[in-house]
Amino acid sequence: MGKTADTPMMVQYHEIKKQYPDAFVFYRLGDFYELFEDDAVLGAKLLELTLTARNKNAENPVPMAGIPHHAAQNYIDILVDQGYKVAIVEQMEDPAVAQGMVKRDVVQLITPGTKMLGGAGNDKQNNYLAAILPDDQRFSLSYIDLSTGELKVTTIKRFEDVIDELRSLEVKEVVLLKNDEQTITLQLANQLGEEGLVVSTQESAEANATVSFLTKGLANASEASVTALLLNYLFDTQRRNLEHIVPAESYERLAYLKFNQDTRTNLDLVENARTHKKSGSLLGLIDETKTAMGGRLLKQWLLKPLRDIDDINHRLDVVSAFQSAFFVRGALQDHLKSVYDLERLAARAAMGTMNPRELVQLKRSLSAIPGMKSVLAEGDIILSSAGGELDAMADLAGLIDEAIVDDPPVSVREGDLINTGFDSKIDDYRRVLTENQQWLAQLETDERATTGINTLKVKYNKNFGFFIEVSRANVAKLPEGRYERRQTLTNAERFVTPELKEHESLINEAQLKRAEREYELFVTVRERVKANINRLQTLARQVARLDVLASLADVADSHRFVRPTFTNDNVIDIKQGRHPVVESLLATGEFVANDVLLDQDTSMQLITGPNMAGKSTYMRELALIVMLAQMGSFVPADSAVLPVFDQIFTRIGANDDMAMGQSTFMVEMAEANLALQEATAHSLILFDELGRGTATYDGMALAQAIIEYLDAHVHAKTLFSTHYHELTALANQHASIVNVHVGAVEDEAGKLHFLHQIQVGPADKSYGIHVAALAGLPETLIANATNILSGLEQGSITSQPTSETPASQQVALFNVDAVDQNTEKLLAKLDQITIATMTPLDALNLLADLKKLRS
């Protein structure tokens, strides 16, 4: 038997689904959104819904799952957060008056990049949607946060840098041009998909009038095209007013201090690498902002420190002014606590989704501006000038205050939004309602007196309207012919009278017209907000900037930060520098501060000393001080003189990429090569124990070669820590290299104590066995290692290959004469293993084979 023919509704559903095959279709049916077929099966699993079926008794019932429309947003968020798209299908006409099938259409496509963030937990987060357009071996990249209207574009040479910029922005969705060059699009889509990004396509990068207005300031044609591609995708998917989008701003990545994702991770910039939380990161430490837009701006500044000395010093001047004006700063921050997210409120007004409570939030925010202006006027010229630029928007705040009640409902359709006295028509409707409510109260009193029934009540419900309710026992007391029975209950009867029906009609008409009029006026007020979006967005940027700079002054006070000084002499001179995050986790005075000095004649510090002594912390704190300084913040030190750096390269930690088949050594060499190829004399390089991922002599040879290449060709300021003590001799051969080490002492019992202090000169010994002892290795093992080390040092045991031994062979771990045939097979088997390419199943099978050889 063939498949049952679709009903008209399912025909309509399939037509819509065909347009959005990669999205969950939320199909509106009355008070529910329904999912059908495959969407229902997968949606029920992901959303924990009850899976039912349409036409259950049919041969092929249609799977379906329903979601109440008032709770849909939570379900949409769950799907979008997992990388899915959701197409919202609404009824475009009233089903009660529709002729035939109700018209439906998609009113919005919600995707990972177009999700509107806001509320607790993510109010300080941006959600960026990006578009990429390859052009002549370059890539144009445009991105937007739909919830704020921020729109930016840049040109990047290498695809690796495109990926890094996407990682920095935490982009979740990328739009590509769907054109005849399918090979390029497919290749890009695959590469982006490997990064975990949702890839969408758009058929046109042509600019209409609106797009042209938003891209008119872009001189670069490719940048204009990629921005048009992005905006076309937005207009097609959102299908609503987007007047809050600001004109595109082009930027050069070279205008900012450049560093990649590995550096951001190594330094715990915005999240702790271990916990993946903001707490325990540099951002978590310095974020004392009071507003959502201030928090977002602070993160942007941290990820894109400046390179222009004048711009940096301008920020530092404001931080200094705030630090000097403690009471001004505190009073300003008290006002900032009353400011809601102006950027996102403006966006919601533009898109027509702003509700009455958000209008009140806007009013309260604007009401804080006069106080901020007054407070800033008490500061120095820098602060008073900043306050003078703020637009209090008294006209808009006054309108909202005059029109909207202080505690409105969320709903915009049910009235009780508009203040009494604002509109004469609404006042008239309210007077009618009040008079009729009084009439109803009097009716109940009169009817009780007339009938003698003291329990008689005048009530209301949505199904039957107003009625008189009398208990069954008292029905006989009602006069004949005056009451019309409306409903019979188990213990009561409900009646109406002609007068009651007349007044009910007056009440319903007044309520309906009042609600319509209130909605009309609410929309008028919201349109006034929309008409002032540019003013609002300018104010939001100004407030966010003041919030960030006041926050940095707070951090400077609470963590003893000082203003850095910038020099063109290519000198690093930091007195008592500290790692701000590590210091915050220790008791007061417990962190050991260190000087960092690389003068004009010194390009590299070669750092030696035991593991766990603080070499990595010392290196990281320099990088963090540089980043803080160039973002316009004070820094954790007693004083700091710095050049302006163009790039930071780091190699700290193992960072193995086993999933890609890359060993520690391969990752080391790739990251080292990036620095060798791209670093300049104005860069900062941090290499921590480079070369440890391979055999000793190979590692030492490569480390030396890299050091000498940096010294001869790059001349970047470099901190190079190493456990190869032989390399310290390079300081005697190269004038620009100096030896420093992390101090450690042994007590009388031979126990090692770390000083965490950077001292001039090379370390006198490795202390590797001491560190092993601190790690808790067995005492017998430590004693044996000590004896072996003593023998090696005295020459009674040699680690060098003999004349009979191949030069590539390492020190023997077994007495070869005692090795039996099974052991030889076992060792041969071990030699054949390639760990990086093994699957878990391969590993289990190998263990089984080895066990057989052992037995």
What residues are designated binding site for ATP?
Answer: 609-616
Give the single-character DSSP code of 59. S
> Residue positions in the annotated binding site?
609-616
Greatest CA separation found in the chain?
Answer: 128
* Alpha-carbon radius of gyration of the chain: 36
Q: Per DSSP, what are the bridge partners of residue 86?
A: 24, 110
The answer to whether 548 and 301 have CB atoms below 8 angstroms apart is: yes
Q: What single-letter amino acid sits at 183? A: T
Q: Which two tokens mark 313?
A: 């010093």
Nearest to 462 by CA among 514, 516, 409, 511: 511
What single string gives the DSSP state of each residue in 122-168? TTT---EEEEEEEETTEEEEEEEETTTTEEEEEEES-HHHHHHHHHH
Tokens of 548: 């960030």
CA 740/CA 713 separation, integer angstroms: 22
Which tokens is 629 given?
Answer: 């300084």
- For residues 683 and 649, is the Cβ–Cβ distance under 8 A? yes
Residue 631, CA atoms < 13 Å, CB-side half-sphere: 27
Q: How far is CA 714 from CA 537, 630, 680, 736, 806, in A?
A: 44, 22, 6, 12, 38
What is the three-class DSSP state of 775? coil
d(C-alpha 388, C-alpha 377), whole Å: 8
CA 111/CA 41 separation, integer angstroms:
20
Instruction: Answer yes or no: are the C-beta atoms of 243 and 533 closer than 8 Å.
Output: yes
Q: What is the distance between the alpha carbons of residues 27 and 87, in angstroms, rounded to a whole number?
A: 8
Cβ-proximal residues to 396 (8 Å cutoff; 6+ apart), any chain:
362, 366, 528, 529, 532, 535
656 contacts 667 by C-beta, under 8 angstroms = yes
Positive or negative: CA dihedral 13, 14, 19, 23 = positive
Place of tokens 């205050």: 401
**CA nearest to 769, candidates 796, 794, 793, 739:** 793
Which residue has tokens 């190079």? 720
Total Cβ atoms within 10 A of residue 709: 12
- Rounded Cα distance, 611 and 591, in Å: 17
Q: Which residues contact 790 (CB under 8 A, 6 or more apart)?
A: none
